């Protein structure tokens, strides 16, 4: 079964995605805006501007947002590093919490984990610094990550049972914090210097702590100077001062989350009543009550988000008072995101029970999540089994992937929980391979595991009935628009790459990498998939296999892949010496984690119809009230090649450029968005019916605002 999967790769940002830190990865449950209409007709579409076609959610998920454009790799590497830095400090924080729950020797494994991730964080910091100056469009993001590092370090130093025991790790966190804050531009804020001074003091470096705290006092505004001076005086006396920053908003955030959960519980109850209603009147009443409860949950979530934004704004505007707000904003935001993700899952159980992923909730936390990896792999397996073109179904490959997915879940947060969605996928693979009895037995287990959850049991039971009759289950509407094979290959390669970085069961990781190669064909992702597979093979002790595969990766590089080829050659040299290649994480270079298409590749030619369809899908991805960067990345992967490949005089090209500009703006690439919009205006002509719209959009971009989707 294919679970609700729109946000699965988000949880894999440890090593496989290019994504903003936690706060920017919002889901949006508000109704999507309608695709805008145009008076400029296109062939076969009366009055439609090519944007109101079928939903674009089936776009090239997991593909790089550069969309075949030539670009420097540094911005990609830098953003991937920021994602990994976020993952590292979250892992440190969680390990610290686990250590606090144990005593003596039982806490030692968690402290070792903290040290491991602190060392990794230092490596990432070095890689980030080596990339040089941060461009303006990444400055704010870099500062955001520095703030979250500060929050983690402060918690290690003030909220732990053993702050002195955490001090060495916290100091490494503050090293990365300072490096990112400097890279982001401007002076180092006083509160960060204050945090680092505390870490220094607790590690025994009293003189260094005094010096650092003096710098904090100098950098402080008047409102916070007095407190920081008191802290400085304490250090000079050799005393640890009382912590002066708190997390007062956390309880409020938890209360909001509970209220959201209650509203969704009511919605589920009304959904059950709706399904069991015996009359139309009763059904209508239950439907109205359900929708009201969902609307209430949405309002609560929007209120939570608004409070987070307000806290952040206050944090920037105010001095010492803002310091508490900043810490609170991070904590509140985390609670809001978790509530949103749970709401998304719960709403899916109400509206689309057949696609609900049971088992381990995906909360959107910035950490490597084997459960999220499992559902990402399962998504591909499901699409390989349900492709509308039966000749493109690959049940043998799907079976291999579904087995790996179940092993990944066993590594997750609830290893005792069997997941109905994963078993449903594997049962379907078995049935398509002619192993009917095994499929029936496994489907029965899936039904048991579903627990009768919100209608899911009914669908699984219907599937079982089809198997018992020797029939394939009926096709479903959402399975009619699968992702392209290259997108599947990219997604699988991302997962395999992350698993290589974790040294997780290399033989199982090899299965994912092999599947990526099968689906990649001769596309750009193939060279990256070969490199990933080589590293997994080396981890599995198959040195000769690793060497042979890495040589294939090198051979697949073109003239435009000079830097990439150099990385591959370095990996090959390491394999030949019997050494693991040096990488930003244990098993990968950052650039490889999110490859950009080669600069010298000739753009593929697009027919008018293909270009229009790509435009429809890309535009529909960005019509939410607050479109995410994930959606914009997918949109850019669709529209970028189409704009480059369609005829320059195609009448829809101005609208396509407008779509491209929107994606770029959402991704923080303001200058490129403005350039795209200007090109749209330059090519549309004075009598174009959307010229005024393009002009208004350009004006919005120049002001730094995203216009609503019309």
| 419 and 301 part of one domain | no
- Rounded CA gap, 614 and 642, in Å? 7
Residue 33: per-residue pLDDT: 29
Which CATH number covers residue 675?
1.25.40
Pick the closest to residue 58 from 428, 491, 411 (CA basis): 491
Residues of the chain where predicted confidence (pLDDT) is lower than 70? 1-76, 223, 244-261, 298, 300-372, 410-418, 452-455, 475-483, 501-503, 523-524, 560, 582-604, 710
| 630-672 residue pLDDT tens | 778 778 878 888 888 888 888 889 999 999 999 999 888 888 8
| 573 and 688 part of one domain | no
| 584 and 668 part of one domain | no
Confidence (pTM): 0.38
Take residue 91 and report the two structure tokens written for it.
Answer: 């892992």
- Rounded CA gap, 681 and 444, in Å? 59
Q: What angle do CA 186, 312, 340 make, to 5 degrees?
A: 130
| 608 and 688 part of one domain | yes
Alpha-carbon distance values, 152 to 91, 97, 167, 331, 579 (Å): 10, 11, 12, 10, 34
- Rounded CA gap, 299 and 302, in Å? 5
Backbone angles phi, psi at 470, to 5 degrees: 80, 20
Pick the closest to residue 27 from 305, 238, 215 (CA basis): 305
Q: At what angle do helices 420-432 and 456-468 cross, to 10 degrees?
A: 20
Backbone angles phi, psi at 372, to 5 degrees: -60, -40
Residue 453: per-residue pLDDT: 56
In-domain check, residue 11: no
| 590-627 residue pLDDT tens | 333 333 333 333 456 778 888 888 888 888 888 877 78
Alpha-carbon distance values, 276 to 53, 171, 269, 282, 451 (Å): 35, 59, 11, 9, 18
Residues paired with 585 in a beta bridge:
588
Residue 411: per-residue pLDDT: 60
Which domain, by its residues, includes 661?
Answer: 40-55+603-703
| 51 and 100 part of one domain | no
Question: Helix and strand tally (H, E) in the chain?
Answer: 26, 0
Neighbours of 46 (CB within 10 A): 6
| 196 and 167 part of one domain | yes
Neighbours of 700 (CB within 10 A): 16
In-domain check, residue 63: no
Q: Where is the domain boundary, 539, 574, 593?
A: 593
- Rounded CA gap, 169 and 156, in Å? 8
Q: What angle do CA 325, 328, 332 make, to 5 degrees?
A: 130
Whether 524 contacts 601, CB under 8 Å: yes
| 286 and 409 part of one domain | no
Total number of domains constituting the chain: 5
Q: Where is the domain boundary, 572, 593, 614?
A: 593
- Rounded CA gap, 515 and 380, in Å? 10
- Rounded CA gap, 629 and 614, in Å? 18
Alpha-carbon distance values, 352 to 341, 344, 426, 601 (Å): 15, 11, 20, 41
Pick the closest to residue 332 from 314, 356, 357 (CA basis): 314
- Rounded CA gap, 173 and 85, in Å? 10
In-domain check, residue 284: yes
In-domain check, residue 708: no
> How many Cα atoms are found within 13 Å in the side-chain-facing hemisphere of 166?
28
Whether 623 contacts 31, CB under 8 Å: no
| 474 and 490 part of one domain | no
| 469 and 616 part of one domain | no
Backbone angles phi, psi at 64, to 5 degrees: -70, 140
Take residue 598 and report the two structure tokens written for it.
Answer: 């080669």
| 95 and 217 part of one domain | yes
Q: Where is the domain boundary, 321, 351, 381?
A: 351
CB within 8 A of 185, min separation 6: which ones?
A: 134, 139, 143
Long-range contacts of residues 469-473, Cβ cutoff 8 Å, at least 24 apart = 470/436, 472/431, 472/432, 473/428
In-domain check, residue 693: yes
| 555 and 432 part of one domain | no
In-domain check, residue 556: yes
Helical segments of 597-669, H only:
608-620, 629-645, 653-666
Tallying the residues shown for the chain, one arrives at 710
In-domain check, residue 219: yes
Pick the closest to residue 417 from 361, 482, 456 (CA basis): 361
| 514 and 574 part of one domain | yes
Residue 257: per-residue pLDDT: 60
Residue 310: per-residue pLDDT: 52
Residue 258: per-residue pLDDT: 65
Whether 296 contacts 29, CB under 8 Å: no
In-domain check, residue 647: yes
Whether 621 contacts 660, CB under 8 Å: no
């Amino acid at each position: 079964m294919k679970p609700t999967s729109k946000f699965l790769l988000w949880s894999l940002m440890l090593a496989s995605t290019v994504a903003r830190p936690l706060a920017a990865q919002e889901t949006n449950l508000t109704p999507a805006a309608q695709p805008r209409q145009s008076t400029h007709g296109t062939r076969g579409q009366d009055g439609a501007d090519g944007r109101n076609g079928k939903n674009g959610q089936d776009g090239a998920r997991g593909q790089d947002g550069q969309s075949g454009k030539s670009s420097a790799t540094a911005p990609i590497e830098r953003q991937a590093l920021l994602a990994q830095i976020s993952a590292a400090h979250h892992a440190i924080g969680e390990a610290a919490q686990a250590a606090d729950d144990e005593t003596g020797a039982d806490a030692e494994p968690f402290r070792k984990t903290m040290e491991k991730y602190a060392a990794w964080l230092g490596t990432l910091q070095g890689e980030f610094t080596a990339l040089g100056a941060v461009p303006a469009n990444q400055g704010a993001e870099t500062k955001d990550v520095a703030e979250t590092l500060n929050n983690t370090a402060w918690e290690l130093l003030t909220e732990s049972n053993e702050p002195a025991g955490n001090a060495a790790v916290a100091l490494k966190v503050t090293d990365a914090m300072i490096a990112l804050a400097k890279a982001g531009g401007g002076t180092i804020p006083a509160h960060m210097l204050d945090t680092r001074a505390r870490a220094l003091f607790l590690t025994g470096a009293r003189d260094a702590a005094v010096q650092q705290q003096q710098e904090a006092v100098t950098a402080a505004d008047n409102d916070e100077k007095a407190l920081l001076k008191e802290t400085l005086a304490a250090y000079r006396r050799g005393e640890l001062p009382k912590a002066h920053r708190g997390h007062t908003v956390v309880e409020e955030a938890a209360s909001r989350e509970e209220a959201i959960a209650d509203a969704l519980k009511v919605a589920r109850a009304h959904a059950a009543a709706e399904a069991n209603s015996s009359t139309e009147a009763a059904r209508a009443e239950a439907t109205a009550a359900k929708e009201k409860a969902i609307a209430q949950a949405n309002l609560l979530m929007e209120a939570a988000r608004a409070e987070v934004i307000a806290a952040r704004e206050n944090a920037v505007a105010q001095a010492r008072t803002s310091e508490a707000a900043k810490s609170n904003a991070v904590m509140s935001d985390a609670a809001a995101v978790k509530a949103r993700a749970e709401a998304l899952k719960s709403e899916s159980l109400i509206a689309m029970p057949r696609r609900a992923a049971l088992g381990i909730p995906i909360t959107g936390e910035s950490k490597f999540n084997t459960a999220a990896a499992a559902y990402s792999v399962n998504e591909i397996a499901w699409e390989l089994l349900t492709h509308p073109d039966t000749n493109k179904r690959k049940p043998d490959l799907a079976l291999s992937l579904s087995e790996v997915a179940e092993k990944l879940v066993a590594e997750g947060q609830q290893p005792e929980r069997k997941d109905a969605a994963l078993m449903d996928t594997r049962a379907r693979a078995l049935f398509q391979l002619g192993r009917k009895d095994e499929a029936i037995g496994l489907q029965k287990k899936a039904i048991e595991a579903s627990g009768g959850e919100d209608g899911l049991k009914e669908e699984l039971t219907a599937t079982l009935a089809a198997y018992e009759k020797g029939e394939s289950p009926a096709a479903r509407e959402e399975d009619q628009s699968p992702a392209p094979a290259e997108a599947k290959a990219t997604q699988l390669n991302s997962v395999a790459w992350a698993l290589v970085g974790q040294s997780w069961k290399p033989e199982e990781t090899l299965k994912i990498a092999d599947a990526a190669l099968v689906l990649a064909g001769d596309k750009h992702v193939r060279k990256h998939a070969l490199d990933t597979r080589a590293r997994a093979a080396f981890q599995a002790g198959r040195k000769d296999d690793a060497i042979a595969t890495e040589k294939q990766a090198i051979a697949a590089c073109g003239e435009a892949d000079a830097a990439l080829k150099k990385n591959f050659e370095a990996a090959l040299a390491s394999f030949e010496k019997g050494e693991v290649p040096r990488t930003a994480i244990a098993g990968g270079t950052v650039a490889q984690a999110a490859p950009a298409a080669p600069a010298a590749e000739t753009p593929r030619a697009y027919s008018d119809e293909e270009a229009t369809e790509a435009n429809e899908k890309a535009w529909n991805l960005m019509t939410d009230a607050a479109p995410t960067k994930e959606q914009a990345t997918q949109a850019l992967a669709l529209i970028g090649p189409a704009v480059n490949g369609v005829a320059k005089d195609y009448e829809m090209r101005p609208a396509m450029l407008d779509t491209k500009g929107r994606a770029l703006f959402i991704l923080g690439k303001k200058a490129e968005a403005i350039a795209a919009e200007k090109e749209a205006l330059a090519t549309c002509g004075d009598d174009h019916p959307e010229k005024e719209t393009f002009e208004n959009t350009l004006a919005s971009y120049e002001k730094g605002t995203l216009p609503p989707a019309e």
